[in-house]
Amino acid sequence: MSSPPKRDTSAVEDTEAPPAPTQGHGNGKEGTKEEPPPGSTSSQPSAEQILQSIEFRLRKSKEIRDEAQATLEEMTKAGHQYSDDPKGQQKKKGNETEDEVDRKRRAARMEKWQEKIKELSEQLEDYYAKIRDIEEEFK
């Protein structure tokens, strides 16, 4: 009876966008930061930079949501693997067997992941709405 593999959830909390890409970095196929025209003192990000930032966050949200969904499915499968104790050899913890305690813990973790998936799905919809707004603004 082994527990499901632990996953790194530190990325779940990270919602910051990376710094805007600049020319000369990467393989040249990624988006590049446009140079402001000479004499321009605007420190406001360009529409392209905003769009790139939103697209990055959207991709990250999708990755996190997909990972959370995969984890939830693994936990669900694991919950079904460890059914009843056919030999009646489980130790009692108070009035509950170890299996009952484990089942409750798994159920609580699955509920937590379902809430996180719902939250990420809502964030994803917000990002889609922002992208649509920006696209409409530049049409």
Per-residue pLDDT, 53: 87
Per-residue pLDDT, 135: 86
Sites in the chain below the pLDDT cut of 70: 1-42, 79-95
Q: How far apart are the first and last CA of the chain?
A: 58
Tell me the domain boundaries of the chain: 45-83+95-139
Q: How many Å is the maximal CA-CA distance in the chain?
A: 81
Percentage of the chain with pLDDT > 90? 4
Contact by Cβ (8 Å): 48, 34: yes
Alpha helices in the chain (DSSP H): 10-13, 47-81, 98-137
Per-residue pLDDT, 13: 45
**Residue 96 parent element (H or E):** strand 96-97
- pTM score of the predicted model: 0.33
Per-residue pLDDT, 8: 52
Per-residue pLDDT, 74: 81
